[in-house]
Structure 1
Amino acid sequence: MAIKGSWYERDSRFIAAHHQPALLLDLALARDLDSHRLLRGSGLFHEDILGGQACISPQQFLQMIDNARRLLDADDSSFLFGQRLLPGHYGAASQALQQAGNLQQALELLVRLRALLSPLLAPRLLLDEQRAYVVWLDACGCGEQRRFLLEASMTALASCSRWLAGERLPWHFEFAHAQPRYIEQYWAHLGEDVAFARQVDVMSLPREYLTRPWPGASLTAGRVAEQQSLAQLQALGFSASLLDRLYAHLRSHIRQTPNLDSVAQAFGMSPATLKRKLGKHDSHFQEQLDLVRKHIALYLYRVKGYSNEEVAAYLQFNDSTNFRRSFKRWTGLSPSALRQLLG
């Protein structure tokens, strides 16, 4: 069955300028930066945000973030921005998140309403017998703004869950990028349970914390707010980005050895159109396929305890040498080196 039009793209204008972009603007204004400099190149003016009606695209938002990074020039900017993000003041979506009865409900809402609550990075929830994992994926081709957004998004979820739970939760944070020079900011805002160069951007905690009741929750009000949020998504015509939809499709069809032609057909477009759309997001099909293969391999190694042969077979590699070569291309590590890293 073709997947037609049920996504947003890098240039889709749907992000309310007076929501998350306004938070970034307020952070800049609090540090005495001129609003015109922050908004330069975004096609947006301060008066547009104050009007409460303007919507901008992910591309415009990313331009604002790029400006903020350069103008603020402070190691804590992303973390301070993250502290303001969730549950936020984004209408029904924020209200639904704020009234969640426990962490599991909050995480499921964050995933379901990600176009409203986290439009630039897509959270995905994975569970095993012991732990819950929130994996953060690039939704729009974030490029050089990816690290800023990862720092902000993980801070946002940790801060929000701490506030709603009434206690600090034992989150463990892993980042694919190398340890930055400003490690003290991670310790100050996330805690010391942080690891780098881990191939995937993920935060996790023991599964027992998922169902602990949260004080102050109003399930009825939360349910109404959730229904209002879903109606808002229906009016938009999408609930996820093109890259997000592509990731999910590749993941669910990975054992059928998907290729550009078959995936383009599933998305109701020509291979040339899919290539063009991925290029608009600074990506290409092989990069997206390799990302999914890497994430599945890491999951099978870490969570399922699969052997090299089992992982290779799952990913439809008949030649173990070819699998090891591909795995090193995805990760920069051999499977044995990865096992040592994961301990």
Structure 2
Amino acid sequence: MDNRYRRYLPQLYRERDSAFIPAQSWPKTLIDLALARGQQEHKLLRNTGIFYEDIAQGNILLTPQQIFRLLDNATRQPQGYELVFLVARDLLTPYQAHLSQANNLAELLDYFVTYAGTLSPLLSLHLHYEQDRLVIYWQDNFGADELTPFLLAMMASSMRNFTRWRSASSPTWTFYFKHAKPEYIEQYQVHLGEQLVFNARADAIAIARHELHSNWPKIPTSMNIINPLTAENPRGFLHEVYYYLHSNLQDQPNLEQCAQDFGMSSATLKRKLQKHHSSFQQQYDLVRKHLALHWLSETRITQEEVARQLHFYDAANLRRAFKRWTGQGPGKL
């Protein structure tokens, strides 16, 4: 744990009602697949504010809340859960030429972090090295709530598909999901393999460190980059709050200071967090949970030291909080 830090101030962010997701990308794929499987258009697009004619004819931008309504409608239909895995097959195709420039998994993950606003706008990635493996924790950026499992399955499957293709092998991913094992477990097994953990402490994927730098086959440099990636995309609101709290943890940030730095009153920040189905305490605890999982996996760091770094009175309070966050005590690590 490094005590050196530079105070971070909030940057531009996007909200639930910010229109920035191209409808012509995976949302259209989802709609087309659903219609091809017999779903009725009026039920699929109900209360989304989406009209198929507009998507087919122009470059329409959708908001996260429109995406959530669409995903909710699609997955409520019989066998609708299969759609997210089918969408995942082509999720990264528009950026394949750019991502293929990665020479190994470590470089690919750098792309995902740098261009997260484009590659994974609804879920952000937080990378932690824990002993002999890399753990990537997922964070909901806009308040997807009960739809989060579908987004997790989609992103996990797309990442597994791409790394298997690009590496010409099968990187050994382990997938962790906080939710219970679904009835359609065979879909997870087909698309994600057998290394699945449900009722986990956190939504995450993990891989052994030694697989990160194994060289991948060369790709011809003549591949056309049709959809160039840009790092200028703002973070989602919840990600920006998380990043602010994580970066300024040493200051023991509170609601009032956070609101001031975000340029609004405490009441306005509360309302904005509620709009995204979250709260200041939830985001603060998520930061501390991820750091606790990371630090407590390092045997050289004591629970007392972790408690101090995370601003708990003592190790006993840390243990109680950890059990509340994960359902298990830190001794289980």
Same fold (TM over 0.5): yes
Q: Once the 2 structures are TM-superposed, how far is the Cα of residue 221 of structure 1 from its aligned partner?
A: 6.3
**Correspondence for 1:321 among 311, 316, 329:** 316
- Cα gap change, 1:326/1:34 in structure 2, threshold over 3 Å: closer, same or farther? same
5 Å matches for 1:261-340?
261-303=256-298, 306-336=301-331, 339=332
Partner of 1:190: 192
Aligned AA for 2:64?
P
Q: Once the 2 structures are TM-superposed, how far is the Cα of residue 128 of structure 1 from its aligned partner?
A: 4.6
- Cα gap change, 1:216/1:37 in structure 2, threshold over 3 Å: closer, same or farther? farther
Partner of 1:119: 121
61-70 or 241-250, which deviates more? 241-250
Aligned AA for 1:264?
A
Contact 2:17 2:63 in 1 (8 A): yes
Partner of 2:210: 208
> For residues 267 and 279 of structure 2, what CA distance do their matches in structure 1 show?
11
State yes or no: 1:95 paired with 2:97.
Answer: yes
Partner of 2:149: 147
Listed one character per residue, the Cα deviations across residues 311-336 of structure 1 (whole Å, up to 9, x for unaligned) are: 21221222333333323332233333
- Give unpaired runs (5+ residues) of structure 2: 1-6
> For residues 186 and 229 of structure 1, what CA distance do their matches in structure 2 show?
29
> For residues 52 and 45 of structure 2, what CA distance do their matches in structure 1 show?
8
State yes or no: 1:248 paired with 2:215.
Answer: no
- Cα gap change, 1:78/1:289 in structure 2, threshold over 3 Å: closer, same or farther? same
Q: Give the secondary-structure state (helix, strand or coil) at the position aligned to 1:147.
A: helix
Q: Once the 2 structures are TM-superposed, how far is the Cα of residue 116 of structure 1 from its aligned partner?
A: 1.3
TM-score (norm 1): 0.87
Partner of 1:50: 56
Contact 1:114 1:239 in 2 (8 A): no
Aligned AA for 1:53?
N
Q: Once the 2 structures are TM-superposed, how far is the Cα of residue 36 of structure 1 from its aligned partner?
A: 3.0
> For residues 210 and 330 of structure 2, what CA distance do their matches in structure 1 show?
31
5 Å matches for 1:29-40?
29-40=35-46
Contact 1:131 1:207 in 2 (8 A): yes
| Matched pairs, number | 327
Listed one character per residue, the Cα deviations across residues 58-83 of structure 1 (whole Å, up to 9, x for unaligned) are: 00011110011012434433222222
Q: Once the 2 structures are TM-superposed, how far is the Cα of residue 219 of structure 1 from its aligned partner?
A: 5.8
Q: Give the secondary-structure state (helix, strand or coil) at the position aligned to 1:135.
A: strand
Q: Give the secondary-structure state (helix, strand or coil) at the position aligned to 2:13.
A: coil
209-218 or 109-118, which deviates more? 209-218
State yes or no: 1:9 paired with 2:21.
Answer: no
Q: Once the 2 structures are TM-superposed, how far is the Cα of residue 258 of structure 1 from its aligned partner?
A: 0.9
For the aligned residue pairs, the C-alpha RMSD in angstroms reads: 2.3
Aligned AA for 1:77?
L
> For residues 222 and 124 of structure 2, what CA distance do their matches in structure 1 show?
27
Contact 1:301 1:311 in 2 (8 A): yes
- Cα gap change, 1:64/1:74 in structure 2, threshold over 3 Å: closer, same or farther? closer
Partner of 1:78: 84
Q: Once the 2 structures are TM-superposed, how far is the Cα of residue 131 of structure 1 from its aligned partner?
A: 1.9
TM-score (norm 2): 0.90
Contact 2:201 2:325 in 1 (8 A): no
Q: Once the 2 structures are TM-superposed, how far is the Cα of residue 3 of structure 1 from its aligned partner?
A: 3.9
Aligned AA for 1:7?
Y
Aligned AA for 1:125?
L
Aligned AA for 2:322?
F
Aligned AA for 1:48?
D
